[in-house]
Amino acid sequence: MSELAFFSGTMDCGKSTLALQIGHNRSARGLAGLIFTRDDRAGEGKLSSRLGLVTDAVEAREGMDLYAYVVDHLSRGGRADYVIADEAQFLAPEQIDQLARIVDELGLDVFAFGITTDFRTKLFPGSQRLIELADRIEALQVEALCWCGARATHNARTVGDEMVVEGEQVVVGDVNRLAGEVGYEVLCRRHHQRRVTSAVARAGVLSPDVLPVTPS
């Protein structure tokens, strides 16, 4: 039976690497796949990992009908034995419905990879819909670590090494960025709630509004 599988985790836990590995393994067995991605760090129409691996992909733009794209591809004589959707958190809920339709009506396995929550700890709409529809949900086994050494469970957005908690839900950035640019860092829940990034910890500076309250 074909299935819709959702592989989730924080940033820096190997989601895109696993997507590339799944594609490689199936290609080595003579299978052909379609790869969708959205706002990849390597640019439009690319699926890349932080290990330096990259492959071509179809950019799943806003409003694009993924089901119709696959049907058109097959109708033109193209081949697709499975579908990979990376950065699935950026897809609209209706596009997740289209991925489920690919499974149910075309009989193809769909492997979706994405972050569950944003920098405000709120569910991405695409990830929420995947949680609601997926036949299987897998947490990535490669654990990203907070600067303190604890398991990282939250994604933080930073500007100038300071954590921010307001702004648009989707702003493209990376864990590797230049000074002053929008970036992201993975933190444990405690340090995310206290807004203590690695830079703040190195500087030994804690804002009064994130220090524990001492009873008077």
pLDDT at 185: 87
pLDDT at 215: 44
In a domain, 147, yes or no: no
CATH code for the domain of 15: 3.40.50.300
By three-state DSSP, how is residue 86 classified? coil
Please indicate whether residue 87 is annotated as part of the active site.
yes
The verdict on 54 and 160 lying in the same domain is no
The verdict on 82 and 35 lying in the same domain is yes
In a domain, 98, yes or no: yes
In a domain, 18, yes or no: yes
The verdict on 86 and 116 lying in the same domain is yes
Across 25-34, 40-49, 117-126, 198-207, the highest mean pLDDT is recorded for 25-34
In a domain, 146, yes or no: no
Q: For 179-199, give the DSSP string.
A: TTSEEEEEE-HHHHHTT--HH
The verdict on 107 and 54 lying in the same domain is yes
The verdict on 54 and 122 lying in the same domain is yes
The verdict on 10 and 39 lying in the same domain is yes
The verdict on 11 and 104 lying in the same domain is yes
Q: How many residues does the chain have?
A: 216
The verdict on 28 and 61 lying in the same domain is yes
What is the CB-side half-sphere exposure of residue 26 using CA atoms within 13 A? 19
Options 3, 44, 59, 87, the catalytic residue: 87
Q: Is the distance from CB of 62 to CB of 88 less than 8 angstroms?
A: no
In a domain, 116, yes or no: yes
* Tally of structural domains, the chain: 2
The verdict on 129 and 42 lying in the same domain is yes
Q: Which of 8, 11, 7 has its CA nearest to residue 158? A: 11
Q: What is the pTM of this model?
A: 0.74
Q: For all residues of the chain together, what is the average pLDDT?
A: 85
Domain that holds residue 9: 4-139
In a domain, 103, yes or no: yes
Question: Which H/E stretch holds residue 90?
Answer: none
Residue 156 DSSP class:
E
Give the whole-angstrom CA distance, residue 97 versus residue 66.
Answer: 9
The verdict on 113 and 168 lying in the same domain is no
The verdict on 34 and 129 lying in the same domain is yes
Q: Domain boundary at 88, 112, 139, which? A: 139
Q: Is the distance from CB of 87 to CB of 99 less than 8 angstroms?
A: no
Task: Choose the weakest-confidence range: 30-39, 61-70, 85-94, 182-191.
Answer: 182-191
Q: Which of 92, 115, 117, 129 has its CA nearest to residue 4? A: 129
Angle at which helices 93-106 and 125-133 cross, to 10°: 30
pLDDT of residue 12 exceeding 90: no
The verdict on 26 and 77 lying in the same domain is yes
62's tokens: 């806003």
Beta strands 162-164 and 154-159 are antiparallel
